[in-house]
Amino acid sequence: MKNVEKFIRPTNISELLEARAKEENNILLAGGTSLIFSKDASVRTIIDMSEVNELKNIEFSDGKLKLGAMVTMTQLRHRSDLPVAIRNAALSVASTPIRNVVTVGGEVMRGVYWNDLPVALMALDAVAVFASTTGERAMPLEEVFSLHPTKTIRPDEVLTRVELTDYMRPAAFHKFSKTATDYAIASIAFSARSFEGSTVREPKVVVGAVTPLPRRLNDVERLLSEKGESALEELETLFSGFKTRPDFRVSAEYQRNLMIVGIRRLFRAARDGGEE
C-alpha cells in the first residue's frame, strides 16, 4: 500500500460510514493482522475502526446474540455466557497476542481458509449485518461465503455485527492442527435443533480449511437426519470422493479422515453439552 495518502480514524458509526462512502479506494483497518501484508497499490485511504466503540459490544437483545465487528477473539474466549462452540473457535485462533487484536469482522471478511470463527458461526445460522449511509442489510453467513466475502459486500458497506437467533442450540467446534497456534488442517463445527435418543433434528455440519471457504456438508446432514447416530458409521462412503483443498502438510486422504473423525466426535460433544 505504498500509495496511501490518508489515514482516517472515525469515532462513531456515522463517521465511519460517511468515510467509507466518500473516500475512493479506501480500505478498512480492524485488527490489522492481514492488512499489514497487503500490497494493493490502488489503496489511497486507510479507515481505522479502532475508535468506533459501538462495534465492540457483545449484546443479548431482541432475542438475538449480537457480536460487534470489532469484538476480539479474546473477548469471545472469556465470555462464559456465549455458546461453547464460539468460545472454542475463538480460542483456536493463533496465539494470545493475536487473539487480542483479531476481530469478528476480520475473521468473517478476510476469507482465508484457516479462519476458525466463521465455521462455528455458520453452524449456528449466523447472519452478517452490513451497513452503509443508505441503511442496513442482513445476509446469512452461508450466503456471504457463497463467494469470497469481499465479493458479497458493496464498496460503500461495512460489516457492523454478526447476529445469531438460535444461538442456544447444541453445538460443538474443533480445530485440527499440528500445534495449537498453527493454521488449521481442518476446522469442523456441528449443531442440531435437538437430540432425542439416537436421533437428531436439523443437524448442521460445517467444515473449514479442507475447503477454501467454510462449507456446509448437506449430504452428511441429510444422512444424520435420516439415520441419526448410526449414520456416523457410514461417513466413509460420503467422503470417498470429497475434493479437498490441497495442503502441503497432509494428504487428501488424511483430510477426509479428519472430517470423519471430527464429525463423529462433535456429534457426541454437542449431544453431551458442547465440550469434548
Mean pLDDT of the chain: 96
| pLDDT on residue 39 | 82
What is the Cα–Cα distance from 186 to 256, expressed in whole angstroms?
9
Contact (CB, 8 A) for 150 and 195? no
pLDDT at 274 over 90: no
Query: pLDDT, tens digit, for every residue of 34-71?
Result: 887 788 899 999 999 999 999 999 999 999 999 999 99
Is this model's pTM higher than 0.85 or not? Answer: yes
β-pair partners for 131: 136, 158
Give, in order, the Cα–Cα distances in Å from 144 to each of 98, 148, 150, 214, 215: 24, 7, 9, 10, 11
What average pLDDT score do residues 73-88 get? 97
pLDDT in tens, 98-109: 999 999 999 999
Question: Is residue 155 classed exposed, middle or buried when 0-12, 13-18 and 19+ CB atoms within 10 A define those classes?
Answer: exposed
